[in-house]
Amino acid sequence: MISDLAASVAHEVRNPLQVTRGFLQLLAGRGDSESKKHFNIAVSELDRASGIITDFLTFAKPELETVSPPEPGGGAGAARGHHRPSRGDARRQAAD
């Protein structure tokens, strides 16, 4: 649930950042060298903000895959020892 909320918030914040970035790049192409320098600084800061959002999503994302011993008669995924936890697994682990 937290990862869903984080993804939604990140999407809503990242979209206007990217639109602003695009407009700054367009304006930078029309300005003098001093203006281009300022536009490049602004684009750089938008990229930094986008990186922070990516870090936020990384920390909010639940573990996607864990390794566990294979179970007898368990299919191809079990032969590799991979198990993808479901949301119920995460809730049970949080309750423990």
Domain containing 85 equals 64-96
**Statement to judge: residues 80 and 49 lie in one domain:** no
Instruction: Quote the pLDDT of residue 39.
Output: 93
Residue 78 shares a structural domain with residue 57: no
Q: Are residues 48 and 87 in the same domain?
A: no
Q: 83 and 40 in one domain? A: no
Single pTM value for the model: 0.56
Q: Which residue in the block uniquely carries the two structure tokens 């536009």?
A: 39
Condensed to tens digits (0 to 9), the pLDDT of residues 49-96 reads 999 998 888 887 766 555 566 666 655 544 444 444 444 444 444 444
Rounded CA-CA distance 67/74 in Å is 14
**Number of continuous H segments (helices) and E segments (strands) in the chain:** 4, 2
> Stretch 33-37: mean pLDDT, rounded?
89
28, 39 Cβ separation under 8 angstroms: yes
Using alpha carbons only, how large is the chain's radius of gyration in Å?
A: 22
One domain for residues 46 and 69:
no
Helix (H, G, I), strand (E, B) or coil at 30: coil
pLDDT recorded at residue 70 = 67
Where residue 2 falls among pLDDT bands split at 50, 70, 90?
confident
Residues 54 and 91 in one domain: no
Is residue 5 within 8 Å of 13, Cβ to Cβ? no
pLDDT at 93 (0 to 100): 47
Displacement of CA 47 from its chain's centroid (Å): 14
